[in-house]
Amino acid sequence: MTIATTSSHGMAPDMAEGNSHLLVSNVRNRLREIVGASTNWRDHQQALAERASLGSHLAPSQDALPVRRMQDSLVEVHLPLGTDPSLREKYLTFHDTVRFGRILEDLDSLAVLICYSHTRNKAQSRSPLSIVTALVDKIDMRKNIIYPDCDIKFTGHVTWVGKSSIEAKIHMSQFHDGAYSAVLDATFVMVARDPENKRAAFVNPLKPEGPEEEKIFQEGEENKKRRVDLSTASLLKVAPKLLERELVHSLFLNTLDSKTVSFRSRILPPDSVWMEDAKLKGLEICHPQERNIFNRIFGGFLMRKAYELGWANACYYGGCRPNLVAVDDILFQKPVEIGSLLLLSSQVCYTEGKYIQVRVHTEVLDPETRQHNTTNVFHFTFSFPQDVRAVIPKTYGA
């Protein structure tokens, strides 16, 4: 798209001319239409029962589904912050910047819409697939500033598929000083399940066209392999490598009290913080207002709450407002049911120079059984204008 001129309030010309591209505010309505979801919470049980009958429309194998191209799932969505003051209020921070947690919500909804665009059968009035977020592989920031009064554009499409999983990439840009400039690139991995969200379902195969798409598809294959390798390298499954063991032992020796040489007597090095003292927690009561199209808590809402808690912890730790550098490895392990008590715990887990990494762990608390079940794990990397204090683990676990 060629941008020739600009207009007031950072409004892109294509928006000013009434282009019919989808608006962010309409994405979730479009998703409800695709799956036949009810907009009324009181009707959700009936809507779920109606979706269960769609199971007969599922493909018996991937070979039974038509091949799709990357351009078949191409979606462009606009967020008109430059022209809609009421919408701007929803995204505005006290510091006159954009609430990144809101952007995370929009990215999650858009990733789902992209996948439905890939799998949509025009002969069916409703899709039998339940497409949900499995993980956010990464979000790389291209610039630190997101202007609250300039239009934003999201573009994305499917880049790789497995049997029931789909990788979707989204590019976000903002119109400023007469042209769109890159803000971030996001990679989502979604999974398709049956209408009742009980078992995996097949998705349309993807055929790359041309060298550029072949390269994109191959990157998707490599991303899958990397994720498998990382999952098998967890400390919960295998022992740390030699370099990791030496690093942990070095941290331990640097905190020993030389006068007592006791495991229990530890000394905090100068300009450092014990990891156990770098925590911040929160709790959310999960109301129906935050439900997704399948009547569970919206994944974007969980990301927004986790990000805001992680940002607050980083801000408190560093003593000033941090800039987001990257989002990595957001895992959606279990769905969060409506009515749940959601506990969020953020932890500064690594520092290096001006950079800080915050891990946010969420779990559902059952008040009757007192059991805690992990639902999500989030990782955020922030930067500061100056070096931050080193965070030091006091135990093997933290």
The confidence score (pLDDT) of residue 398 equals: 65
Q: Shortest CA distance to 152 belongs to which of 128, 169, 176?
A: 176
375 and 362 Cβ atoms separated by less than 8 Å = yes
The confidence score (pLDDT) of residue 2 equals: 30
Radius of gyration of the chain (CA): 23
Q: Shortest CA distance to 204 belongs to which of 169, 170, 171, 158?
A: 158
Looking at the chain, the domain(s) classified CATH 3.10.129.10 span 13-233, 269-392
Whole-angstrom distance, CA of residue 376 vs CA of residue 362: 5
Q: Which two tokens stand for residue 197?
A: 């969200």
Predicted TM-score of the model (pTM): 0.88
Whole-angstrom distance, CA of residue 41 vs CA of residue 389: 47
142 and 183 Cβ atoms separated by less than 8 Å = yes
Neighbours of 156 (CB within 10 A): 25
pLDDT for 134-190, tens place per residue? 999 999 999 988 999 999 999 999 999 999 999 999 999 999 999 999 999 999 999
Residue linked to tokens 């790359």 = 208
First to last CA, the chain: 50
The confidence score (pLDDT) of residue 306 equals: 97
Name the β-bridge partners of 317: none
Q: Shortest CA distance to 167 belongs to which of 130, 203, 211?
A: 203
In the chain, the amino acid numbered 325 is V
Reading the chain (398 residues) residue by residue, the pLDDT tens digits are: 332 223 334 555 443 333 347 999 999 999 989 988 777 777 777 777 788 889 899 999 999 999 999 999 999 999 999 999 999 999 999 889 999 999 999 999 999 999 999 999 988 989 999 999 999 999 999 998 899 999 999 999 999 999 999 999 999 999 999 999 999 999 999 999 999 888 999 999 999 999 999 999 999 999 999 888 877 766 667 778 888 888 888 888 888 777 776 667 788 889 999 999 999 999 999 999 898 888 889 999 999 999 999 999 999 999 999 999 999 889 899 999 989 999 999 999 999 999 999 999 999 998 888 889 999 999 999 999 999 999 998 877 66
Q: Which two tokens stand for residue 342?
A: 């959601």
For 232-243, letters b (16+ CB in 10 Å) and e give eeeeeeeeeeee
Choose the CATH number for 13-233 among 3.10.20.600, 3.10.129.10, 3.90.1150.10, 1.10.357.10: 3.10.129.10
Q: Shortest CA distance to 386 belongs to which of 285, 311, 318, 291?
A: 318
> Strand pairing of 372-383 and 355-365?
antiparallel
The angle at the Cα of 126, spanning 123 to 128, to the nearest 5 degrees, equals: 100
For 333-361, letters b (16+ CB in 10 Å) and e give eebbebebebbbbbbbebbeebbbbbbbb
CATH 3.40.50.720 fits 269-392, yes or no: no
Neighbours of 111 (CB within 10 A): 29
